[in-house]
Structures are given as C-alpha cells and as structure tokens.
Amino acid sequence: MYKSFKSISNLIVLIALVGSSLAIAQVNMGLPTVELKAGIYRIQAELADTPKSREVGLMNRTNLPTNSGMLFVFEQKAGNCFWMKNTKIPLSIAFIADDGKIVNIDEMQADTTNNHCPIVAVRYALEMNRQWFSDRVIVPGTVIQGLPKR
C-alpha cells in the first residue's frame, strides 16, 4: 500500500512540476521583446518575426499581462489574415502601416477560425488583450512608436 501511495505522490509532484514549467514557458516563449508606445501607453511586445513564431503566436496561452502583447512582423507588406484557432484568450489586433499608423483594429474571440484581415497591405500586426485599444481610445490613425525597422 505504501509503495503505491508513494508512486501516486511522485506522479502528483511530476504533474505539478510539468504544470509549473508550462506556466513559466507561457509567459514568454523565449521570443525577443520590444517596447512600443501608443500615445501615453507603453507596451511590452514579444516579437514574432519568423515563420514559426508567427505561426504559433499566442496559441495555448491562458493569460496575457495587461500592457503586454505580441507584435507580428512580416518581411513584405501583405494582406496577412489572422485567426484564433488554439488561442485560449480573446484578443484585439491592430494592423499597422510602415509609418506606424494603425489602419484598422479588430476584436477576436478565443478559439475561433474567423479571418481577421487588414484593410490594406501591412507589415505589422499587434495583438493585445481584447478591448485593450478601445478601452484606451486608441483608434485607426493612432501612431505606434518603436516598431522595428526591416
């Protein structure tokens, strides 16, 4: 009886350790970060600038700190659309022109496959918690400062 209890205890400890490791990995997937500004607001954005990091994005995360987000950077301006498959938290996305101006913002529901696209070809997209932009009255035409140059 003791042996099986010890095995169960070891299993519980192992599950706890794996869960803790996943939670830590979730905070920052090892991506570089960049500080952006939207008006008076500072944003700590993880940089998704490779095909793999853009593909994974914020999938499987269960939270996103208030002024944190993910900046998607593409090599070429295009009409890159986004969806929320395997993304556990609702997000807002701002599509941003090369001059830093937001061209459009869209609200996205968690774990859906609806397309969210820019209204013109852009190189940048910034994902934040849902309604982050609207709660701060950040609208199309607002300039995002600190974008990495390509």
Over residues 82-93, the pLDDT tens digits come to: 999 999 999 999
- Nearest CA to 119 out of 62, 70, 91, 80 is that of 80
- Nearest one of 37, 53, 23 to 136, comparing CA atoms: 37
Predicted local distance difference test score (pLDDT) of residue 150: 67
pTM summary value: 0.80
What is the CATH code of the structural domain delimited by 31-145?
A: 2.60.120.1140
Tokens of 52: 């793999």
Mean pLDDT on 12-26? 39
**Contact in structure between 73 and 84 (CB atoms under 8 Å):** no
pLDDT at 78 over 50: yes
Residues 54-89, buried b or exposed e (16+ Cβ, 10 A)?
bebbbeebeebeebbbbbbbbeeeeebebebeebeb
In the structure, what pLDDT confidence band is assigned to residue 29 with cuts at 50, 70 and 90?
A: low
Task: Say how many Å lie between the first and final Cα of the chain, rounded.
Answer: 63
Question: Token pair for residue 121?
Answer: 């070809």
Q: What is the mean pLDDT of residues 68-91?
A: 97
* pLDDT at residue 53 greater than cutoff 80: yes
Please list, in sequence order, all residues whose beta carbon lies within 8 angstroms of the beta carbon of residue 72, skipping any fewer than 6 positions away: 48, 49, 54, 57, 80, 82, 124, 125, 126, 127
Mean pLDDT over 83-107 rounds to: 97
At residue 30, the pLDDT reads 86
**Residue-averaged pLDDT of the chain:** 86
